[in-house]
Amino acid sequence: MTFKTDNKTRAGLSALALMIGAALPAAAFAQDASGAAPADGGGDASQPRLGWYKTCTKQDDADICIVQNLMMANNGQLVTAVGLISVDGKVNRKILQISVPTARLIPPGITMQIDGGKGQKLDYAVCLPDKCTAEVPVTDAMIAALKKGTDVTFTSINFRRAPNPIKISLTGFGAAYDGAAISDSKLAESQKSLQDSMQKKAEEARKKLEDAQKAAKQ
């Protein structure tokens, strides 16, 4: 299936990738997923997490909703951003966008695999200085599979030609997709909690390093 849009529409949709995770100023893309932790914490309450959530906004004459999830490294760096974007207005579109770090091989794109199912290739739509974004049209079958699935894995190929698979839990996806958008106050509260957790972990890591250096000098 080919997703055809004019240049103006494609540029607008690709620019929406900037919205995914934009409210996390402390995070930056890592070059690889070493030490990565799922945004839902993978069952570990000590890990930074937001899980699946929906945000909605109005731009010009269009209503835009994004169901998204973030994958972060233990140091707070953002590794992968997932966004299912619905645009309703004069232009109606539903697309899935995946943002990964730069230094990726472009031709392979990103492979999306739900549980043990067949992988689907997502072609890159745009690369910026801090990330590359692939996109594909959202279908009813895709949504049904995501709601039914346990995990979704996105695999990009880094500049070393090594696969870089990222697995994200689908727990909470259905509730976020079908539910109401998170309020600005609730989102701000969750983001503050996340940022506080990141700062705490950074401080713990710094102290651990200092203690190790002191012990080495003794």
Closest to 3 measured CA to CA, from 143, 122, 162, 102: 122
Lowest mean pLDDT among 5-9, 75-79, 142-146, 190-194: 5-9
The larger pLDDT score, comparing residue 149 to residue 209, is at 149
List the beta strands (DSSP E) in 115-192. 120-128, 131-137, 151-157, 163-169
Across 9-23, 78-92, 143-157, least confident range: 9-23
DSSP 8-state secondary structure symbol assigned to residue 63: E
The pLDDT > 90 percentage for the chain reads 46
- Compute the distance between CA of residue 192 and CA of residue 128 in angstroms, rounded to an integer: 27
d(CA 25, CA 3) in angstroms, rounded, equals 32
Mean pLDDT of 16-41: 39
Q: Which of 85, 135, 141 is nearest to 110 (CA)?
A: 135
Query: Exposed, middle or buried by CB within 10 Å (0-12, 13-18, 19+), for 110?
Result: buried
What residue type is 183 in one-letter code? S
pLDDT tens-digit profile of 56-74? Answer: 988 888 899 999 998 877 6
pLDDT of residue 188: 61
DSSP class of residue 154 equals: E
* 168's tokens: 């994200």
The whole-number pLDDT of residue 60 equals 83
The whole-number pLDDT of residue 192 equals: 65
Question: Residue 35's pLDDT is what?
Answer: 40
CA distance 115 to 169: 10
> Residue 84: enclosing H or E segment and its boundaries?
strand 78-88
Say how many residues make up the chain: 218
CB 35 within 8 A of CB 73: yes
Q: Residue type for 182, please?
A: I
Bridge partners (DSSP) of residue 99 are 81, 133
- Say yes or no to pLDDT of 54 above 50: yes
Return the higher-pLDDT residue of 90 and 16: 90
Instruction: Give the pTM.
Output: 0.71
- Report d(CA 169, CA 43) in Å as an integer: 10
Token duo for residue 28: 């930056």
Assign 106 a pLDDT band (cuts: 50, 70, 90): very high
pLDDT (0 to 100) of residue 142: 96
- Supply 60's token pair: 């010009």
| Least confident span in 38-52, 56-70, 97-111 | 38-52
Grouping H, G, I as helix, E, B as strand and the rest as coil, residue 87 is strand
CB 110 within 8 Å of CB 47: no
| Average pLDDT, integer, range 32-49 | 41
pLDDT at 5: 37
Considering the domain delimited by 7-217, tell me its CATH architecture: Sandwich (2.60)
Q: What is the pLDDT of residues 74-88, one digit of tens each?
A: 666 668 999 999 999
